[in-house]
């Protein structure tokens, strides 16, 4: 355990350092380093530990390679380099049991994205949304919250248990938003928030009905979307890129307000619907 804690983070650190400084790391260097450590353990008579470490490292090494490919994807110079990295990452994922299903399985995809998720959306955007949603009072339900709840003390819901693991909060619910029912009683929340989530949900109409059901009579729904996709990489699980106008159409039977707000060079779309005016005329 100590070895894992000390050596692996060190090799990860070296790799990340080399990558972020645009230096090429050679895998051979890292393997040489690991081998040296294994030899040292053997010299100390710790053969069992050395063998365990080698086995652990071969898997861990592949896992590192996988994450490095994803990391480098963000810095690739063109489409063909991105495709190459993606293909290589997919091949590695097929060999590691815990990565099986990546990237086609949506839940697995987001589990993997959970690694350092909070930092993947610029801080100024996070803080802006946090401030805007700060007006909400009472019990909030955060749908598809990932690892970043914008509203304190919310009930956090996501289908990725890995995302939820790193989210700050005590009330966490693992649930797929494509399911027919939300796992809550009628009239149980003062607000429901959905930030950068609507694009990934196929059955939005059903979800909106359910949101209406779980909101109390003065409750409101707040949806935040980015006008431009937040990152091309996540688009592979997008059902449709929705902006305010599309959401307005989907929510046409409900009373909605749509407002665009600029944060730096990004335009955010805030959609707000109140339960009282949130009437489904098609019933």
110 binds ligand SAM (CB under 6 A): yes
Copy the structure tokens of residue 20: 């972020």
Residues 163-192 that bind ligand SAM (CB under 6 A): 163, 176-178
Omega into 103 within 30° of 0, i.e. cis?
yes
Per-residue interface string for the shown chain with ligand SAM, residues 126-165, x marking contact by CB under 6 A: ------------------xxx-x---------xxx--x--
CB of 99 to ligand SAM, least distance (A): 16
- Per CB under 6 A, does 64 bind ligand SAM? no
CB of 225 to ligand SAM, least distance (A): 10
115 lies in the binding site for ligand SAM (CB under 6 A): no
Contact flags string 227-246 toward ligand SAM, x per CB under 6 A: -------x------------
195 contributes a contact to ligand SAM by CB under 6 A: yes
Q: How far is the CB of 228 from ligand SAM (least distance, A)?
A: 13
**Dist. CA 119–CA 226, nearest whole Å:** 17
Q: Which is nearer to ligand SAM, 53 or 200 (CB)?
A: 200
Compute the distance between CA of residue 77 and CA of residue 227 in angstroms, rounded to an integer: 24
Interface positions with ligand SAM (CB under 6 A): 106, 110, 121, 144-146, 148, 158-160, 163, 176-178, 195-197, 200-201, 234
């Amino acid at each position: 355990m100590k070895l894992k804690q000390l050596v692996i983070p060190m090799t990860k650190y070296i790799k990340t350092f080399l990558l972020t400084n645009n230096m090429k790391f050679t895998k051979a260097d890292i393997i040489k380093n690991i081998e040296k450590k294994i030899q040292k353990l053997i010299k100390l008579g710790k053969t069992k530990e050395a063998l365990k470490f080698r086995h652990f490292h071969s898997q861990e090494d592949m896992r590192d390679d996988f994450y490095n490919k994803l990391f480098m994807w963000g810095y690739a110079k063109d489409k063909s380099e991105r495709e190459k990295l993606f293909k290589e990452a997919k091949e590695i994922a097929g060999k590691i049991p815990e990565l099986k299903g990546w990237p086609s399985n949506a839940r697995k995809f987001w589990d993997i994205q959970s690694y350092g998720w909070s930092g993947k959306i610029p801080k100024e955007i996070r803080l802006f949304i946090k401030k805007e949603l700060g007006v909400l009072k009472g019990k909030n339900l955060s749908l598809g919250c990932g690892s970043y709840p914008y509203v304190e003390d919310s009930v956090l819901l996501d289908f990725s248990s890995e995302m939820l693991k790193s989210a700050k909060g005590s009330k966490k619910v693992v649930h797929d938003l494509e399911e027919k029912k939300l796992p809550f009683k009628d009239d149980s929340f003062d607000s429901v928030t959905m930030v950068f989530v609507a694009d990934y949900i196929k059955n939005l109409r059903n979800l909106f009905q359910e949101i209406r059901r779980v909101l109390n009579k003065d409750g409101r729904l707040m949806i935040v979307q980015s006008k431009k996709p937040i990152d091309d990489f996540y688009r592979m699980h997008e059902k449709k890129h929705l902006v305010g106008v599309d959401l307005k159409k989907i929510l046409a039977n409900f009373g909605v307000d749509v407002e665009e707000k600029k944060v730096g060079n990004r335009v955010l779309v805030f959609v707000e619907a109140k339960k009282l005016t949130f009437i489904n005329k098609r019933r």
